[in-house]
Amino acid sequence: MDNIVSLKNLVMNFEDGEQILHGINLDIKDKEFVTLLGPSGCGKTTTLRIIAGFLEPTSGDVFFDGRRINGVPPHKRNVNTVFQRYALFPHLNVYENIAFGLRVKKTPEKEVVRRVGEMLELVNLKGFEKRSVNHLSGGQQQRVAIARALVNRPKVLLLDEPLGALDLKLRKEMQVELRKIQQALELTFVYVTHDQEEALTMSDTVVVMNNGSIQQIGSPTDIYNEPVNAFVADFIGESNIVNGCMPRDFLVEFAGKRFECVDKGFSPNETVDVVIRPEDIKIIPAESAKLTGIVESVVFKGVHYEMIVDGVDHKWMIHSTKHAPVGTMIGMNFDPDDIHIMKKTEVDG
């Protein structure tokens, strides 16, 4: 598959001199669903605006279909954007909101009718043509915004937290619908969210960002199972992160004990971050455990219990279908391949 969008060494300095992007390199494949994921303020929207052409990078290049497009104005890029605030035209009805981009291009009336019809079908709004957009629900307004962005048939759709204003149930439904639309039309979607679950469920590729830099690029399973550093591990799902060191290959020391692990290639006694997922910790009898702690809290989360266990020098979070009462001493155990060893990196946040 060919790259449809490539970003090379993008640097963005705003006028106050602050550097917001520190050299972004990213290849986006044709027909791919790519999500930029990271905490608020990490530079997701800035990156998207550079792809759209609303913002020129301080340095670095943007390629579209192999062609450098720095300086090409937004309306001449084969790209369209859907924003969180839908910015529909309040004085136009549903039909005319969707038709807007075609009218600007002086598209013949017959073709407008056909293409708006296709879009209404695509986003499930047939019968709503004459409605004022002010009388639609949030979810319906977002559908109009998506139809309006797609009617000109861009090759790439940029979506900036498009579901952020919807309640949880509607958001889940729209996630499924957006994915269907992307696959049906064989489009490239570049999606921005700070919601890790949304990113993992929708995307082919997740790009984890922090402080203006890309931390990791990978499939949802790669990102979840093999986070490259403590920031990614912590941001993608809850994790236990403790300081440790590697006495030798396949052996890690933390919480005052040594454990077999599957990692190698560290210098002797190198200090590392040790990451263990809450769902990978098994509760065993305290007598037979290397690691013990006192149960501090238990909360039922619907499918599992979430327990905080005080292990003296570290509090452990455990997700398990079994639980032990508050105040009891339990043992904790994990398999060698559930221990993830990460090189120490300069991480904040």
Nearer to ligand ADP, 38 or 154 (CB): 38
Nearer to ligand ADP, 39 or 285 (CB): 39
CB of 35 to ligand ADP, least distance (A): 12
Residues 6+ apart with CB under 8 A from 335: 280
Report d(CA 300, CA 104) in Å as an integer: 55
Report d(CA 208, CA 138) in Å as an integer: 28
CB of 160 to ligand ADP, least distance (A): 7
CB of 41 to ligand ADP, least distance (A): 4
Nearer to ligand ADP, 146 or 208 (CB): 208
The DSSP line for 172-217 is: HHHHHHHHHHHHHHT-EEEEEES-HHHHHHH-SEEEEEETTEEEEE
Report d(CA 191, CA 34) in Å as an integer: 6
CB of 160 to Mg ion, least distance (A): 6
Number of residues that bind ligand ADP (CB under 6 A): 11
CB of 20 to ligand ADP, least distance (A): 4
Segment contacting Mg ion by CB under 5 A, of 44-52, 115-123, 147-155, 174-182: 44-52
Binder of residue 20, out of ligand ADP, Mg ion, none (CB less than 5 to 8 A by kind): ligand ADP
Beta pairing partners, 308: 297, 317
The amino acid at residue 19 is Q
Report d(CA 27, CA 207) in Å as an integer: 10
CB of 305 to ligand ADP, least distance (A): 34
Contacts 24+ apart (CB under 8 A), 10-14: 10/47, 10/50, 10/57, 10/59, 10/60, 10/61, 10/62, 11/57, 11/58, 11/59, 11/60, 12/43, 12/46, 12/50, 12/55, 12/57, 12/58, 12/212, 13/58
Binder of residue 154, out of Mg ion, ligand ADP, none (CB less than 5 to 8 A by kind): none
CB of 262 to ligand ADP, least distance (A): 34
Q: Does 45 bind Mg ion (CB under 5 A)?
A: yes
Q: Does 211 bind Mg ion (CB under 5 A)?
A: no
Q: Are 317 and 278 in contact (CB under 8 A)?
A: yes
Q: Which x/- pattern over 185-214 shows residues binding ligand ADP (rule: CB under 6 A)?
A: ------------------------------
Q: Are 46 and 20 in contact (CB under 8 A)?
A: yes
Binder of residue 72, out of Mg ion, ligand ADP, none (CB less than 5 to 8 A by kind): none
Locate 154 and state its tokens.
């861009």
Binder of residue 241, out of ligand ADP, Mg ion, none (CB less than 5 to 8 A by kind): none
Q: Which x/- pattern over 15-54 shows residues binding ligand ADP (rule: CB under 6 A)?
A: -x---x-----------------x-xxxxxxx--------
Q: Are 138 and 174 in contact (CB under 8 A)?
A: no
Which residues form the interface with ligand ADP (CB under 6 A)? Answer: 14, 16, 20, 38, 40-46
Which residues form the interface with Mg ion (CB under 5 A)? Answer: 45
